[in-house]
Structure 1
Amino acid sequence: MGPTAEEQGSAAARRTDQVELSHERVNRRWGEILQETRVAQTGVQILFGFLLSVAFTPHFRELGAFDTTVYVMTVILGAAATGALIAPVALHRLLAGQRMKDDLVTVAGRLVVGGLVLLALTISSTVLLILHVVLPDLLAEILAGGVILWFASCWYVLPVWLRRRSARRHPEGADDRTDQG
């Protein structure tokens, strides 16, 4: 004997609730990604504008080969970070209405993470470039390395540690830990 009409209706209602919750979740995650990129975009655009202006200063021609190479790499990293952090907006505009929000959230989340890595490298390279001009070489490189380690600690090590700690405290919430945008 199969399920009663009441049981079938209840199961259908649960499926509908799950679809709605999934839809709400993807909308929330998309909103979070857009908010996060607004913060990161502003910083990377200001930094990138500063980097572009450096080449037009009188002292730029006095830079040695190492500093010029660091500058070029920093500009490339800044451009790549800008592209990655603005990409979610372009994806949304070009694919709006295509019923691809789940895919957009996944790809945009990855672009934001990649953009943040590129932004950390851009900032660290900028620090290296500036400190290399005003401090002895080795000290500038050590301090710039410290900046990279700081970003790695704040943006990677700390979130991984918090996620693992939460998983140990709340093993039943394992599915919630995948909610990364």
Structure 2
Amino acid sequence: MSQHDEGETEHQRLARNVNELLGELRVAQTGVQILFGFLLAVVFTPLFRAASGFEQALHLAAVLLAVMATALLSAPAAWHRVLFRSGRRYEILRYGNRLVLVGLVCIALAVTATIALMVKVIFGAVAMTVVALLVAAFFTAVWFLAPLRLRLRGAPKGSLGAR
């Protein structure tokens, strides 16, 4: 095992990184669970029964995106349990990171679809389109483009780098 500058072995670094990943997932999972609960409750309201086919389809899309987000965001924890003590932390991190990124896209799309549905019911199709595009652009900028921009700049001097 190689030693790092701070005395952390590769094994220790991987264990810490897996724990950090699982901790980050708790935040994202809570949000998607709240959204999912709200979306499920909407189906049992009189307003939903009177909704147009498009509105019901948009609701179904939001529900399916929330389901996919739930599966993707809980996958690294499941992988960790299944592969626990098998020395596969590197794979858990590598694939877990990808699953989480796709899960975050699903959350952003589920929230966007939910907001679009709400705006469609209240203000109509034009407002729905404008608000959905703005919300999707906001998620894209804040969650993906801003950190990607920082990543492309490289690590600043004196940073810890990819630890």
Same fold (TM over 0.5): yes
Residue 30 of structure 2, aligned match among 28, 36, 42? 42
The SS at the match of 1:17 is coil
Provide the secondary structure at the position in 1 that maps to 2:161.
Answer: helix
Q: Which runs of 5+ in 1 are unaligned?
A: 1-14
Give 2:129's aligned residue: 141
Number of residue equivalences: 161
2:3 pairs with 1:17: yes
Q: Which structure has the greater CA radius of gyration?
A: 1
TM-score by length of 2: 0.90
TM-score normalised to the size of structure 1? 0.82
Separation (CA, whole Å) in 1 of partners of 2:66 and 2:3: 44
Does residue 120 of structure 1 match 2:108? yes
Q: What is the rounded CA distance, in whole Å, between the counterparts of 1:50 and 1:88 in structure 2?
A: 25
Q: Which runs of 5+ in 2 are unaligned?
A: none
Sequence identity (%)? 37
**Which amino acid letter does the alignment assign opposite residue 118 of structure 1?**
C
Structure holding more helix per residue:
1
Q: Which residue of 2 aligns with 1:65?
A: 53
Which amino acid in structure 2 is aligned with residue 24 of structure 1? Q
Moved >6 Å (runs of 4+): none
Q: Which residue identity does 1:160 align to in structure 2?
A: L
Structure 2 partner of 1:161: 149
Two-structure CA RMSD over aligned residues (Å): 2.1
DSSP-derived class of the 1:124 partner: helix
Superposed CA offset, 1:41-76 (max 9, x none): 000011001111111111111111111110111111
The reply to whether residue 77 of structure 1 matches residue 77 of structure 2 is: no
Match of 2:98 among 87, 110, 114: 110
Q: Is the counterpart of residue 176 in structure 1 residue 157 in structure 2?
A: no
Matched, 1:94 2:94: no
